[in-house]
């Protein structure tokens, strides 16, 4: 086992945590998986015509987008679950409720990649949840932790509930670097992790067998019909009136 000298987490645990994230990465997609969330052929038609790209290229871009979205979720796993491996700290990742908790210190955390990825409804729901927590536990501190924040910060989260401005000293917006400091006691913990992460990933990739890339979406669409765009419409609208005889 190589030494990474992070201090707040053992070499073995950070290696295995990165390994689990790497192995979760998605490499393959077929037509069934491609259409799991129902492809919008009208949107893809606009993309093709406006950007003057062949529909096959637009589909390949959509495949890449879907794979990327799936892998982004795995990075969310990485950010959340690393804290249960912190040395000498009682951080837990519960099966439901908050993303991260420390019951000994009464800290309750929701972690987001970016604050602006939450719409107003989601933000309001999260704030109300935190309000309930601090009302029921005067020692509780609730944190919205942002991986990508505009500033290094640990500030009150000023939000809006039913159109009214709300603020509570124990409901915080915290950048990931400041949360690492809270979680580990080391103000440079996040910086140390980032500086070592490329090496750790290289070490993991050198020691695992990764799935081969496989993308059969276009091939399967062309089996349905040689006109790929027609296949897209039949994929989504085949049960609609008239589409059994659909053509361009």
Q: Is the pLDDT of residue 21 over 90?
A: yes
- pLDDT for position 91: 96
Q: Which long-range contacts (CB under 8 A, 24 or more apart) does 94-100 make?
A: 100/145
C-alpha angle 221-225-231 in degrees, rounded to nearest 5: 55
Structure tokens at 26: 């998605």
115-130: buried (b, 16+ CB within 10 Å) or exposed (e) per residue? beebeeeebbebbeeb
pTM of the model: 0.89
pLDDT tens digits, 60-85 = 999 999 999 999 999 999 999 999 99
**Number of C-alpha atoms within 13 angstroms, CB side, residue 165?**
2
What are the DSSP calls for 21-83, one per residue? HHHH---EE-HHHHTTT---HHHHHHHHHHTT--HHHHHHHHHHHHHHHHHHHHHHHHHHHGG
How large is the average pLDDT for residues 201-214?
94
pLDDT tens digits, 145-179 = 999 999 999 999 998 888 888 899 999 999 999 99
Structure tokens at 66: 């879907």
Around Cβ 73, how many Cβ atoms within 10 Å?
Answer: 12
Which residue(s) pair with 18 in the sheet?
Answer: none
- pLDDT for position 116: 59
Q: Is the pLDDT of residue 114 over 80?
A: no
* Closest by CA position to 83, among listed 74, 95, 73, 93: 93
**Cα distances (angstroms) measured from residue 1 to each of 12, 61, 73:** 7, 39, 28
- pLDDT for position 50: 97
Reduce the DSSP state of residue 244 to 3 states and report it. helix
- pLDDT for position 153: 97
State CA 11 to chain mean position distance.
24
How large is the average pLDDT for residues 18-35?
95
- The mean pLDDT value of the chain amounts to 93
Instruction: Mention every residue, 6+ apart, whose C-beta is less than 8 A from residue 219.
Output: none
Q: Is the pLDDT of residue 214 over 80?
A: yes
Dist. CA 8–CA 84, nearest whole Å? 11
How large is the average pLDDT for residues 47-51?
97
The owner of tokens 């000298």 is: 5
Please, are residues 94 and 101 in contact by the beta-carbon 8 Å criterion? Answer: yes
> End-to-end CA distance of the chain, in Å?
60
Dist. CA 167–CA 181, nearest whole Å? 23
């Amino acid at each position: 086992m190589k030494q990474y000298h992070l201090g707040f987490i053992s070499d073995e645990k950070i290696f295995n945590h990165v390994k689990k994230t790497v192995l979760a990465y998605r490499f393959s997609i077929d037509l069934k998986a491609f259409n799991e969330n129902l492809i919008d052929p009208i949107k893809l038609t606009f993309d093709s015509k406006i950007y003057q790209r062949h529909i096959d290229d637009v589909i390949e871009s959509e495949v890449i987008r879907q794979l990327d979205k799936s892998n982004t979720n795995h990075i969310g796993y990485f950010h959340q679950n690393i804290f249960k491996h912190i040395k000498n700290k009682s951080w837990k990742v519960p099966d439901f409720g908050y993303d991260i908790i420390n019951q000994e210190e009464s800290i309750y955390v929701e972690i987001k990649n970016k604050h602006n990825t939450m719409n107003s409804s989601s933000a309001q729901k999260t704030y109300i949840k935190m309000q309930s927590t601090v009302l029921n536990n005067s020692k509780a501190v609730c944190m919205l932790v942002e991986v990508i924040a505009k500033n290094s910060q640990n500030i009150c989260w000023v939000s809006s509930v039913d159109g009214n401005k709300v603020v509570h000293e124990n409901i915080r917006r915290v950048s990931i670097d400041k949360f690492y400091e809270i979680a580990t006691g080391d103000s440079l913990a996040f910086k140390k992790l980032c500086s070592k992460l490329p090496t750790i990933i290289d070490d993991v990739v050198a020691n695992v067998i990764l799935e081969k890339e496989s993308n059969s979406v276009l091939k399967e669409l062309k089996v349905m019909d040689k006109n790929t765009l027609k296949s897209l419409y039949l994929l989504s609208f085949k049960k609609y009136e008239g589409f059994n005889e659909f053509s361009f």
